[in-house]
Amino acid sequence: MSTNPKHKQSARGAAEPSEGQEPSLRRQLLAVAREAAAAGAAVLAERGRGRVAADTKSAAGDWVTDFDRRAEMAVRDVIAAARPNDAITGEEYGRTVPADPSGYRWSIDPLDGTANFVRGIVYYCTSVAVFGPLDESAAATPARNTPDAAAADAAAVPGHPAAPTGSSLAADAAAMDAGTHGWLAAAVNAPALGTEYYAAAGDGAWLVDSTLHVGSDARRGGSATRAQRLSGGDKEEAGRLLATGFGYDADRRQFQVGALLGLMPGFANVRRIGSAALDLCLVADGTLDAYAEYGTQEFDWAAGALVAAEAGLPVLRPRTDPGWQAAGHLDFDALPKEQPAS
């Protein structure tokens, strides 16, 4: 167990259900998450053959497509219809805060793995997760249900002149440490793979794999009509695989590669899937043994981290931006604390 306060490790990394929160609420949130992720995935499933047209965002290879935008709108429409007072943070359209916030916030990535999607590589998905109070009656807490808090939420919209420098991760982590808030429900839907991963806090992590048939002896099990509970892989298995990813900035990549070399002892090889959400889910189902990446955004890991945590795996969430996201059987203390200043 890590003792480094900057890289706190949780054996589950998920919110335990409290006495004040009925299971029905978690399951309602999970139902919304699954419906929203399915709506985004349905847009992605419209992809035909060939390469998809894309616009460059921040650097070569950092792409956005019309599918990203339409999928995010589809996800937002489902959430807004079911939970009109919840805040939403999305990759493409930033943060939306309702006039009367409920205290719950959705983090969505409509197309995680855009570069894969553009080139026709099947590892891409829609990722949806919700963060909020463990006790439903405490949703409108004094800390968040005040004019100052509402203004702070509004200022968190990207590009707002009063936007903070990035303390929300630390605030969320502190609330999780205190046991007042947590990630409550999540869904990751990968249409080209025919798989859906989902989890609710305290209720475990699950996989529905439409490509498998009843009676299949495939590692993950499951069928088109039956969900299979996930419990990660065997940490003693030979030939262990570590997954990671790399940023677009050259200095960031150099730091990531150097850190990766330090993590490789104990692993037979490394995989770069191209979707942080699916990396985390593949650790949860035992396909991969561990995952670590520096500099991911919340919407990249929000859903997958809960799936991995509910599969019973150690999970590390960033407390700073940039920071480390990791899951699985990995020494979190071996992760460099931060990227050296360039």
DSSP string, 287-339: SSSEEEEES--HHHHHHHHHHHHHTT--EE--SSSS-EEEEES--GGGS-SSP
pLDDT confidence of residue 46:
86
Q: Where are the domains of the chain?
A: 5-229, 241-334
Instruction: Identify the pLDDT of residue 212.
Output: 65
Residue 8's pLDDT is what? 39
Instruction: Report residues of the chain scoring pLDDT below 70.
Output: 1-23, 48-64, 137-167, 212-225, 339-342
Distance of CA 294 to CAs 249, 270, 319, Å?
12, 15, 12
Pairing of strands 241-243, 228-229: unpaired
Q: What are the distances in angstroms from CA 95 to CA 50, 251, 336?
A: 33, 29, 30
Measured CA to CA, the distance from residue 308 to residue 83 in angstroms comes to 25
Query: What pLDDT is stored for residue 11 in this prediction?
Result: 36
| Count of C-beta atoms within a 10 Å radius of residue 92 | 19
Q: Are 103 and 139 in contact (CB under 8 A)?
A: yes
Question: By C-alpha distance, which of 58, 41, 8, 23 is closest to 197?
Answer: 41
What's the rounded Cα separation, in Å, for the pair 141 and 9?
26
Look up the pTM and report it.
0.81
Fold of 5-229: Fructose-1,6-Bisphosphatase; Chain A, domain 1 (3.30.540)
How much helix, strand and coil, in percent to the nearest 5, is found in the chain?
Answer: 30, 20, 45
Exposed e or buried b per residue across 48-69, where buried means at least 16 C-beta atoms within 10 angstroms of its C-beta: eeeeeebeeeeeeeebbbebbb
What pLDDT shows up at residue 12?
38
For residue 210, the model assigns a pLDDT of 84
pLDDT of residue 190: 97
In angstroms, rounded to a whole number, what is the distance separating the alpha carbons of residues 154 and 2? 35
The CATH architecture of the domain made up of 241-334 is 3-Layer(aba) Sandwich (3.40)
Assess whether the previous peptide bond of 101 is cis (omega < 30° from 0): no
Among 14, 9, 38, CA closest to 208: 38
Provide the pLDDT for residue 262.
87
Rounded Cα distance between 102 and 72, Å, is 21
